[in-house]
Chains A and B, each alone.
Chain A
Amino acid sequence: EVQLVQSGAEVKKPGESLKISCKGSGYRFTSYWVAWVRQMPGKGLEWMGIIYPGDSDTRYSPSFQGQVTISADKSINTAYLQWSTLKASDSAIYYCARQLASTSFGVWYYYGMDVWGQGTTVTVSS
């Protein structure tokens, strides 16, 4: 079964750092991009960025560039999303998802996100 399993809920204080994880199984992890998506309480979906675990090529949404770091450890089929300094406004559910894509002559073409993790709830409060 193809699945992404995310790390558990986190409660942090403003100013603290955090790294959450997303472990893939049931497919070749290094051959698919992994996306991170934020959903703030009662709000819609926001794309944060994607990473290709095969070579760690990473693309960020302009809204999140410099605010978070996306990484991956292909040896353990795991992608990560991290913050160096959390703010209360980072409180949200964070999803990872497998991003369908194809490549031609070095250009990537993206389609939908077909497999999703269960979400990690991050609460930042003093």
Chain B
Amino acid sequence: DIQLTQSPSSLSVSVGDRVTITCRASQSIGSYLNWYQQKPGKAPRLLIYSTSSLLSGVPSRFSGGGSGTDFTLTISSLQPEDFATYYCQQSYSGLPFGQGTKLEIK
């Protein structure tokens, strides 16, 4: 099984900060990496698929990068509505998720 490891598990940040979350796969997954946002009590929301493709309607401050085993989600200037938990997911072999990264207010 291909494992995904996100880092950090949590992050204390402020509005306006540039935030980068990392997701590492235990073996190469090409560009089959997706990112989701989940707010408390809500269903997850797809932000980015295939490493860097922004879903329609997702703000351009979100971006994704990487390939092979190392991937990033970057929020260029954090907004109040971005405080949430973020999950990566690989879709190369099965569809497992990473363990999540919680963004907290500093």
Contacts and interface: CB of A to CB of B under 8 A. Distances in A.
A116 B46 CA distance: 9
Nearest to A33: B95
Contacts, number: 68
Interface of B: 1, 32, 34, 36, 38, 43-46, 48-50, 55, 87, 89, 91, 94-100
Interface of A: 35, 37, 44-47, 50, 61-62, 95, 97, 99-100, 109-114, 116-119
Contacts of A118: 43
Top 8 nearest A-B pairs (CB, nearest first) are A112-B49, A112-B34, A110-B91, A116-B43, A47-B95, A45-B97, A112-B46, A111-B49
Nearest to B48: A112
Task: Give the secondary structure class of B's interface.
Answer: loop
Q: A35, A110, A114, A119: which has the most chain B beta carbons within 10 Å?
A: A110
Given A97-B43, A116-B44, 20 more contacts: A37-B44, A44-B87, A44-B98, A45-B89, A47-B97, A61-B94, A62-B94, A110-B95, A111-B32, A111-B34, A112-B34, A112-B36, A112-B48, A112-B55, A112-B89, A113-B34, A113-B36, A113-B89, A114-B46, A118-B43
A61 B96 contact: yes
Contacts of A37: 44, 97
Given A44-B97, A47-B96, A119 B87 contact: no
A61 B90 CA distance: 13
Q: B43, B48, B50: which has the most chain A beta carbons within 10 Å?
A: B43
Contacts of A50: 95
Contacts of A45: 36, 38, 44, 87, 89, 97, 100
A62 B1 contact: yes
A90 to B, nearest CB: 19
